[in-house]
Amino acid sequence: MSSVAPNDIADSNEATIREGRARARNVIRDWDLKRAFINGVWRDADSREVLDVIDPAKGDVIGAVPFMRTSEARQAIDAAHAAFPGWSRMLAKERAAILRRWRDLLETHQEELASLITLEQGKPYDQALREVVGAIAYAEWYGEEAKRAYGQTMPATQRDRRVVVQKHPVGVVAAITPWNFPLTMVVRKCAPALAAGCTVIVKPAEDTPLSALAAAKLAEQAGFPAGVFNVVTGQPHPIGEALTGDPRVRMLSFTGSTAVGKRLMEQCAATMKKLSLELGGNAPFIVMDDADIDAAVAGAMISKFRNSGQTCVCANRIFLQDGVYDAFVEKFVAASTAQTMGNGFLPGMEIGPLINRQAVAKVERLVENAKKAGATLIYGADLPGEGHFTRPLIMTDVPHVADCFNEELFAPVAPIYRFTTENDVIELANRVRTGLSSYLYSRDIGRIQRIADQLETGVVGINDGTTSHEGAPFGGVKESGQGREGGHWGFEEYLEPKYLNYAL
Ligand code: NAP
């Protein structure tokens, strides 16, 4: 029987990673992803300065995009403003046809897009491919929705009057997106906005601008007219100030942290912009005594570790009732031990790197703080030697005063808390200032409904660790933001009702 030496495995892994990175770098080269897209023109920053893009798994430079500031943001606003009358007056079915072509191009190029996401964001390739499939679903949904901006008529209060309510696009939309789903976040905002007849200016995250530029390349091929879809890359503050301060921009659609969301909301106040804010979460993952423990462990693995724990809906606090505590912990540790971590281009990887060094430093701070407060580390995986990886960890007996009770870990670190009664866990779950998503495992329908009714979150996953659905209203309450993305709720965000009162 032949055996494979560890060095041979390492060599073959390196070769696989090299091939994966080469495929993604070919996309960057062949698609020429090094310029921003304003008014239908691919262009550099006025200053010619560039911003390096880093592979978080290796820590090396993989590309560079224009480092733009205020003046380029203003040029994008000029373009989007000028393009708005033509785009908004097009027939809905004409806009739908272009969106459909964009959707089809995303599908045709799904493997190239997934490679690009793995390279610039780090998530394992299979998860990157699922992200692209999610983006396609949003483009498809809103291509269809474009034709359904229905108005209403309503009974008048006088015989010689008629009352009609029409839906009109909001206008120019600024879309500021995060790095954790660098393609889906762009499509989830732009597809409904474009379907409604708005024009958009995207400001992608500095860490992951390439996926947004790839989306723009395909949008250009799909046939969006010049100025309808713009991408400005560069420095967040001046671009953000230009976009939020200009009265011609009528809406800000932002996904990112609560802190930045609040700041942008303040900046938008002076021009009274419409806002859609998808902000941070701090999801409770609740397992009741009567739950199916295997299903709960499987759900926790997905909810906690998907995208290396860097999703806004990640289980941030795992609450176990006394009766299932020991059994859940044992099975959860066993499942965690079986997880694979490494470069996202290696087949079968489940956990990739964190996005950057600051993210690694933040999780180290939160883990140290929890340990000092009295938490026990019961599991820690080994680290690959390079890039921005952090050790997947499980902590038990985490005191509620630990910082990670209130802050998003945004890492593959699972803090476990014990509770005794239904009321205790509802109070604990709701004790935080955010309210995006929560998870509940139980087999008692009455208990499920009772608890779900009281959880202060916009989304509740019941006996399921995933909640994504392009047709559902995704969004949070409290400091997790306002507005919804997905389904007709996400479409309505980009429409303003106009009420016409007719005297006959
Ligand atoms: P972030 O730091 O708030 O950044 C989000 C976006 O805002 C990036 O494009 C960033 O640009 C930009 N930005 C930062 N400061 C700005 C400013 N002063 N003016 C204008 N733009 C500014 O958040 P992140 O670290 O990228 O993303 C993680 C956060 O997003 C987490 O809290 C997560 O929960 C949340 N999130 C929420 C949802 C949801 O649907 N609710 C989905 C995904 C993520 P730079 O990258 O260039 O700094």
64-95 pLDDT per residue, tens: 999 999 999 999 999 999 999 999 999 999 99
- Write down the pLDDT at residue 6: 57
Which atom of ligand 1 is nearest the CA belonging to 476?
41
pLDDT class for 208, splitting at 50, 70, 90? very high
Q: Is the pLDDT of residue 342 over 70?
A: yes
- Write down the pLDDT at residue 1: 40
Task: Tally the residues of the chain.
Answer: 504
Residue whose entry in the numeric block shows the structure tokens 């798994």? 57
Which atom of ligand 1 is nearest the CA belonging to 241?
19
Q: What's the average model confidence in pLDDT over 301-317?
A: 97
DSSP type of residue 436: S
Q: Which two tokens stand for residue 266?
A: 């303040």
- Write down the pLDDT at residue 386: 82
What lines the ligand 1 site, CB under 6 Å? 176-180, 203-207, 236-237, 240, 255-257, 260, 263-264, 278-281, 312, 408, 436, 476, 481
Q: What's the 485 CA to ligand 1 centre distance in angstroms? A: 16
- Decide: pTM greater than 0.75: yes
Q: What's the 18 CA to ligand 1 centre distance in angstroms? A: 30
Q: What's the 362 CA to ligand 1 centre distance in angstroms? A: 15
Contact yes or no for 270/395 (Cβ under 8 A): no
- Write down the pLDDT at residue 319: 98
What is the CA 233 to chain-centroid distance, rounded?
18
Q: pLDDT, tens digit, for every residue of 351-383?
A: 999 999 999 999 999 999 999 999 999 998 777
- Write down the pLDDT at residue 4: 54
pLDDT class for 2, splitting at 50, 70, 90? very low
Residue nearest to atom 30 of ligand 1 (CA): 256
Partners of 53 in the β-ladder: 63
Residue whose entry in the numeric block shows the structure tokens 């779900």? 452
Q: Which of 303, 312, 357, 366 to mutate to test the pocket of ligand 1 (most atoms within 8 A of CB)?
A: 312
Sheet holding 413-419, edge to edge: 376-380, 393-396, 413-419, 315-321, 283-287, 437-441, 459-462
Helix, coil or strand: residue 71: helix
Annotated catalytic residue, options 312, 404, 479, 493: 312
Residue nearest to atom 47 of ligand 1 (CA): 206
Residues 494 and 168: their CA atoms lie apart, in Å, by: 8
Q: Phi/psi class of residue 39: alpha, beta or left (left: φ > 0; alpha: ψ in -120 to 50)?
A: left
Residue whose entry in the numeric block shows the structure tokens 């693995």? 301
pLDDT > 90 fraction of the chain, expressed in percent and rounded: 96
Residue whose entry in the numeric block shows the structure tokens 């995009």? 65
Question: H/E/C letters for each residue in 163-176?
Answer: EEEEEEECCEEEEE
Q: pLDDT, tens digit, for every residue of 460-491?
A: 999 999 999 999 999 999 999 999 999 999 99
Residue nearest to atom 40 of ligand 1 (CA): 278
Q: Alpha carbon of 434 to those of 310, 343, 348, 365: distances in Å?
A: 16, 32, 34, 21
**Vertex 106: Cα angle to 194 and 79 (nearest 5):** 35
pLDDT class for 10, splitting at 50, 70, 90? confident
Q: pLDDT, tens digit, for every residue of 19-57?
A: 999 999 999 999 999 999 999 999 999 999 999 999 999
pLDDT class for 12, splitting at 50, 70, 90? confident
Q: What's the average model confidence in pLDDT over 414-441?
A: 98
Annotated catalytic residue, options 278, 408, 479, 493: 278
> Which ranges constitute the DSSP H helices of 248-380?
258-269, 293-305, 322-337, 357-373
498 exposure class (CB count in 10 Å sphere: 0-12, 13-18, 19+): exposed
- Write down the pLDDT at residue 389: 92
Task: Identify which of 147, 136, 74, 150 has the alpha carbon closest to the alpha carbon of residue 101.
Answer: 136
Residue whose entry in the numeric block shows the structure tokens 């106009």? 498
- Write down the pLDDT at residue 391: 86
Which atom of ligand 1 is nearest the CA belonging to 179?
26
Task: Identify which of 300, 324, 329 has the alpha carbon closest to the alpha carbon of residue 440.
Answer: 300
pLDDT class for 265, splitting at 50, 70, 90? very high
Q: Is the pLDDT of residue 158 over 60?
A: yes
Catalytic, 220? Answer no
Q: What's the 301 CA to ligand 1 centre distance in angstroms? A: 25
- Within 10 A of 3 (CB to CB), how many other CB atoms are there? 5
Which atom of ligand 1 is nearest the CA belonging to 177?
9
Q: Which of 120, 176, 266, 409 to mutate to test the pocket of ligand 1 (most atoms within 8 A of CB)?
A: 176
Contact yes or no for 110/132 (Cβ under 8 A): yes
Q: What's the 359 CA to ligand 1 centre distance in angstroms? A: 13
Which atom of ligand 1 is nearest the CA belonging to 281?
34
pLDDT class for 5, splitting at 50, 70, 90? low
Q: Is the pLDDT of residue 400 over 90?
A: yes
Catalytic, 144? Answer no
